[in-house]
Structure 1
């Protein structure tokens, strides 16, 4: 996956950030091919990819006995509202074979809306920014690759600092 930095200040301030993860290849050749299919599905849905991190690998969390995760982040441009984008992410997960079972079970695809510009709060069950993203190295590390100075809308700290202070997935590293 190419590492495409986002340099435009307006894009950085209004960044719409989607995290991608997988630790179960399902019917695909690999987790990587599932993640790449998800990026292609976003594009096919009219979501423009403005920046894309490298893929990062980490031990599964909370159960390190599960297969390791691959994670990455994309910064996108979309006309969809936050709720409509979240619905589209769920549709893509379903289309690409995600089966929901118990919480934190291995999954073929996990798409999370991390931030939608400076929007903060509860949008009828959709919490923005993502309430646990700031503590996860497998989210903040990839984000810091492409927008190191993106500032969390609530914590008011840049992605680079959040990555350094992450407490979950601290073994995460780029492939």
Structure 2
């Protein structure tokens, strides 16, 4: 089985329910959930004039290939209702693959590790809850160090410490 680290976010509709539904569907379609971060309320990144996000990091074990994971994630986003009107715009659910073990993948449809994760506090803080000592396979630095060095000044506050899976 492979370790899969995902990041999920929602800023429209019932955000907590969107995350909860996403977790249930990930457990069915992608692999076994091993651990989840707390839930963080975060400022929108990129385009700030939109509702606050709820974000969470997920650690799963999966037998699926990265390409199959991507297909299943896209199905889950459709089921929940990904209604993204523009890049970095509001959405009911967004699911990103952050890491697939220590693999480095770069294709037209998939880049792992996620190429922007180290620049985003809203990704790093939830990752600190579940994999603080994991070493980024390209940057050769721990999540803890990436978080300490992150220049992102947008807010991210943990609002739910131990969410129910």
TM-score by length of 1: 0.85
The aligned residue for residue 82 of structure 1 is 66
Residue deviations 1:51-109 (CA, integer Å, cap 9, x gap): 10000111112222210111010011111100110111110000011123211110000
Q: Which structure shows the higher strand fraction?
A: 2
Aligned-partner SS, 1:168: coil
Q: How do residues 30-49 of structure 1 correspond to structure 2 at under 5 angstroms?
A: 30-45=14-29, 47-49=31-33
Distance 1:135 1:113 in 2: 15
> What residue ranges of structure 1 are gaps of 5+ in the alignment?
1-10
Identify the residue that residue 4 of structure 2 maps to in structure 1: 16
Point out where structure 2 has 5 or more consecutive residues left out of the alignment: 160-165
List structure 1 segments (4+ residues) > 6 angstroms apart after TM superposition: none
**Size of the alignment, in residue pairs?**
159
> Which residue in the other structure is 2:148 paired with?
164
- Are 1:152 and 2:136 counterparts? yes
- Two-structure CA RMSD over aligned residues (Å): 1.6
